[in-house]
Structure 1
């Protein structure tokens, strides 16, 4: 039974919700999964696998995510590992893969760590959950990108089947890695 650590960096809580679902799936698959905020990350030595999820705010991942993965590159590389990004841009069909998502590509160019498994998920657009400034900035961006601008909108763009698929792939990653060796 693998000991899996799921770390998250979330602004409005949606990345955390995705991580909770991943933990549930991994636990059902027999993993001992621990969920923890990045700023309270435990020592990685106690885990076999590490999966990190981070949201986008104002076009960037939290700088603490970049600092964490750069500072822990060696420990991360010694384990089965993965990274996923959550953004509203990933709601678009041409930007919903690690290869086509500009935020994922920017992340990979800014860090020394190269995760073995990558994924991107559409986020949640909840205008009522944002402060006035964020709500107006996001509405403007949505207007430019032809997204929903109604201030009463609350839409979850996450493909939950894709979340379950990531959990399955991550669960099997150590077994597949062992076969390739």
Structure 2
């Protein structure tokens, strides 16, 4: 049986939720789901497909993403590997913030990372005000007010475009 690994860095869980959704398309694969924050030691050579997904918080990816890529850069460059960036700015699809070219986070990642994935997805995440610590709630509310987003701190809003995620999953699945 073919094997796929889905590695993620998430803060509130939306990135993991997106990967779980994508995994549903991989019915002919044995799939492993791995948290990058645990600094996993994995042999990527045993996988036919590798998907790394990471969320943005305050404009940055978690350092565990870069640590993993530094360690596995050669394996990632020689395999069927793809990358997903999850962030709230990607909710602005009309401004193309949900594309690798239009995402400042992806462009910064490509400059900073030793790995240049051939396939990249950019998806809007979720706003989970009730789950945030007070200071995070206020900071994110300020950012959302400056960018025209939801500011009601009693709400949870999922901005993820699931059709776009499904399209990405299908493209990644057939990628040779």
Query: More helix by proportion, 1 or 2?
Result: 1
Correspondence 1:81-96 to 2 at 5 A: 81-93=81-93, 94=95, 95-96=97-98
1:117 maps to 119
Distance 1:41 1:173, change over 3 A: farther
CA RMSD of aligned residues (A): 1.1
After superposition, what is the alpha-carbon deviation per residue over 1:138-160, rounded to whole angstroms, capped at 9, x for unaligned?
A: 00001111111011121100011
Task: Compute the TM-score of the two structures, normalised by the length of structure 1.
Answer: 0.91
After superposition, what is the alpha-carbon deviation per residue over 1:38-71, rounded to whole angstroms, capped at 9, x for unaligned?
A: 2335221211111000001111001110121122
Please give the alpha-carbon distance, in whole angstroms, between the structure 2 residues aligned to 1:49 and 1:97.
Answer: 22
Please give the alpha-carbon distance, in whole angstroms, between the structure 2 residues aligned to 1:133 and 1:26.
Answer: 39
The size of the alignment, in residue pairs, is 172
Correspondence 1:11-90 to 2 at 5 A: 11-27=11-27, 30-38=28-36, 39=38, 40-90=40-90
After superposition, what is the alpha-carbon deviation per residue over 1:66-106, rounded to whole angstroms, capped at 9, x for unaligned?
A: 12112211111121010000000110122111110111111
List alignment gaps of at least 5 residues for structure 1. Answer: 175-181
Task: Compute the TM-score of the two structures, normalised by the length of structure 2.
Answer: 0.94
List alignment gaps of at least 5 residues for structure 2. Answer: none
Please give the alpha-carbon distance, in whole angstroms, between the structure 2 residues aligned to 1:22 and 1:132.
Answer: 32
1:178 maps to none
Please give the alpha-carbon distance, in whole angstroms, between the structure 1 residues aligned to 2:153 and 2:57.
Answer: 18
1:141 maps to 143
